[in-house]
Amino acid sequence: MDYYSGQISRLIEELSRLPGIGSKSAARLAFHLIHMPVEEVERLADTMVDARKNVRYCRQCYTLTDQELCPICSNQERDQKTIMVVETTRDLAAYEKTGKYKGVYHVLHGAISPMIGVGPGDIKLKELIERLQGEVDEVIIATNSSLEGETTAMYISKLIKPAGIKVSRIASGVPVGGDLEYIDEVTLLRALEGRTQL
């Protein structure tokens, strides 16, 4: 791509490394950035670096946050005894968008997948078990309905049911193989209402 001069080529190359951005989109973005006011480009650049540096795991639920304790865990109006287990922060956001769930979350940051070598020790499962030492009414497992998500759900259920804690799984309103993040809110709510005890 040396028909663009050095700095433009470098920018296009850097941008095309991001997920979902091919070389055409990268060029389009690069030229857009070059025509933006310089202070807007600086603000975007600073926001990226700040977010990368300051965002960490919530010490209770392990969602990504810029605080010690995330806004959901520190909200006393939320039911702190009902824990919904999700794979990612984006899945948490999908349930938050429904505006109806009043409990808290636990973000695993992945799912058990022997195929790609992800075991129970590679996700935030130990941390979930530790949380269950406190007062907990119910654990709602909302992992994806993929093979990995179902495996993880079964694993968690077998692990914590002996402790006498109520464990449920969101209903199969969620289409099999679907990605939680892209499902409409009505389906998400139906799945929550129809959850079955494991």
Q: Interface residues with a second copy (CB under 8 A)?
A: 1-8, 10-11, 14-15, 18-20, 24-25, 27-34, 36, 38, 41-55, 64-67, 70-72, 88-90, 92-93, 96-97, 181-182
Q: How far is the CB of 3 from a second copy (least distance, A)?
A: 3
Do 94 and 180 form a contact (C-beta atoms < 8 A)?
A: yes
Q: How far is the CB of 191 from a second copy (least distance, A)?
A: 18
Distance from C-alpha of 104 to C-alpha of 92, rounded to nearest angstrom: 9
Q: Toward a second copy, which CB reaches closer, 47 or 172?
A: 47
Distance from C-alpha of 187 to C-alpha of 170, rounded to nearest angstrom: 11
- The strand pair at 64-65 and 56-57 is best described as antiparallel
Task: For residue 87, give every residue at least 6 positions away whose Cβ sits within 8 Å of its Cβ, in sequence order, or none.
Answer: 107, 108, 109, 110, 111, 143, 144, 149, 152, 180
Q: How far is the CB of 38 from a second copy (least distance, A)?
A: 5
Q: Toward a second copy, which CB reaches closer, 21 or 171?
A: 21
Q: Toward a second copy, which CB reaches closer, 85 or 160?
A: 85
Q: Toward a second copy, which CB reaches closer, 44 or 163?
A: 44
